[in-house]
Amino acid sequence: MGPVEASLLSAIKERGCIHLSLIDPEKFPGRLSKSLEDLESWGTAAIMVGGSTLDGTVKKIKELTDLPVILFPNGPAGVSRFADAIFFMSLLNSSSPRFLILAQAKGAPSVKRFKLEPIPLGYLVVGDSKTAVSSVGRANRIPYSKPELAAAYALAAQYLGMRFVYLEAGSGAEHPVDTSMVEKVSSDLTIPVIVGGGIRTPDQARALAKAGASAIVTGTLLEQQGPGPVKSIVSAMRRA
Ligand code: 1GP
């Protein structure tokens, strides 16, 4: 296990549930420096950088914060040498081999060459509404009414040696992951469960933390509503 994963696990052990902030630097013109400073002071555990990230944007984030920077790639082009770690993930409920293993095979030599810390993660797209990730990733979405199906996939991920499971409702999802699904998945697993997509309020974050989420990811909120709501979410989670 590498240092970033160890720091996430130790923060989870200490706090119960941590906050991860997903950043698209293109959407923070002129505000990136202040946003990173805010996130660090509130106690966000790490910055996730999504998309087909260019080296320049990751480098810029690294210059502006001491928080670990973890890549959250949507394909081989999302591997940057300037990050600390990468969620090395497979979209387990995709119907396309591309998202299951082909993109990973293409990106793996770069992860090795850049000496990035790979953090093996099983990624599951869940929920009742169509989101960009479910269409692009050709996901057979697991509906909130089937928590036992999500738990079966998640358990398979754990048995395959993945060290985190991410329940993804999709960026900007109307409804965040259902707490009953989080409860079922986290109680069946011994590895941490990350939950993201559509989380907008401290109450939602608190409920997910109480249901057993080890990490909550927010992205759109900071971009669209500024620092206030994210600050409330991070502090609500610390209290939960
Ligand atoms: C997307 O789960 C993340 O991968 C974050 O979603 O943008 O809705 O916060 P939001």
Q: Could you give phi then psi for residue 129, rounded to 5 degrees?
A: -115, 155
Atom 1 of ligand 1, residue of closest alpha carbon? 171
pLDDT score of 76: 87
146-185 tens-digit pLDDT:
999 999 999 999 999 999 999 999 999 999 999 999 999 9
Q: Work out which ligand 1 atom sits closest to the CA atom of 220.
A: 7
Structural domain boundaries in the chain: 3-239
Total H helices, total E strands in the chain: 11, 8
Q: Work out which ligand 1 atom sits closest to the CA atom of 221.
A: 9
Of the listed ranges 40-54, 55-69, 181-195, 198-212, the one predicted with least confidence? 40-54
* pLDDT over 70 at 224, yes or no: yes
Contact 47, 68 (CB under 8 A): yes
Query: What region does 197 belong to: left with phi over 0, alpha with psi -120 to 50, or beta?
Result: left
Q: With residue 53 as reference, give the H or E element that holds it.
A: none
Give the residue, 31 or 190, on which the prediction is more confident: 190
Closest-CA residue to 9 (of 113, 139, 164): 164
The mean pLDDT value for 181-207 works out to 97
CB count in 10 Å sphere of residue 1: 10
- Looking at the chain, the whole-number percentage of residues with pLDDT higher than 70 is 98
pLDDT score of 107: 95
- Looking at the chain, the whole-number percentage of residues with pLDDT higher than 90 is 80
Q: Ligand 1: which of 47, 168, 174 to mutate, most ligand atoms within 8 Å of CB?
A: 168
Closest-CA residue to 68 (of 142, 5, 110): 5
Q: Work out which ligand 1 atom sits closest to the CA atom of 218.
A: 9
Instruction: State the chain's mean pLDDT as an integer.
Output: 93
Task: State the DSSP string of 166-190.
Answer: EEE--TT-SSPPPHHHHHHHHHH-S
57-95 tens-digit pLDDT:
899 999 999 999 999 998 888 899 999 999 999 999 999
| CA dihedral (136, 99, 69, 107) positive or negative | negative
Of the listed ranges 24-28, 97-101, 163-167, 190-194, the one predicted with least confidence? 24-28
Beta strands (DSSP E) in 28-78 are 46-50, 69-72
If you ran DSSP here, which 8-state letter would residue 76 be given? Answer: G
For 196, residues 6+ apart whose C-beta sits below 8 A from its C-beta are: 20, 22, 166, 167, 168, 169, 171, 177, 216, 217, 218, 219
pLDDT score of 237: 81
pLDDT score of 225: 85
> Residue 27 — very low, low, confident or very high, per pLDDT cuts 50/70/90?
confident
Q: Ligand 1: which of 199, 204, 208, 230 to mutate, most ligand atoms within 8 Å of CB?
A: 199
CB count in 10 Å sphere of residue 122: 26
pLDDT score of 66: 95
Closest-CA residue to 21 (of 174, 240, 184, 237): 237
* Residue ranges lining ligand 1, Cβ < 6 Å: 22, 168, 171-173, 196-199, 217-221
Expressed in angstroms and rounded, the spacing between residue 94 Cα and the centre of ligand 1 is 18
pLDDT score of 53: 62
Structure tokens at 42: 């509130």
pLDDT score of 174: 94
Q: Work out which ligand 1 atom sits closest to the CA atom of 196.
A: 2
* pLDDT over 70 at 113, yes or no: yes
Structure tokens at 217: 């990811």
Q: Which CATH number fits domain 3-239: 3.40.50.720, 3.10.450.50, 3.20.20.390, 3.40.50.300?
A: 3.20.20.390
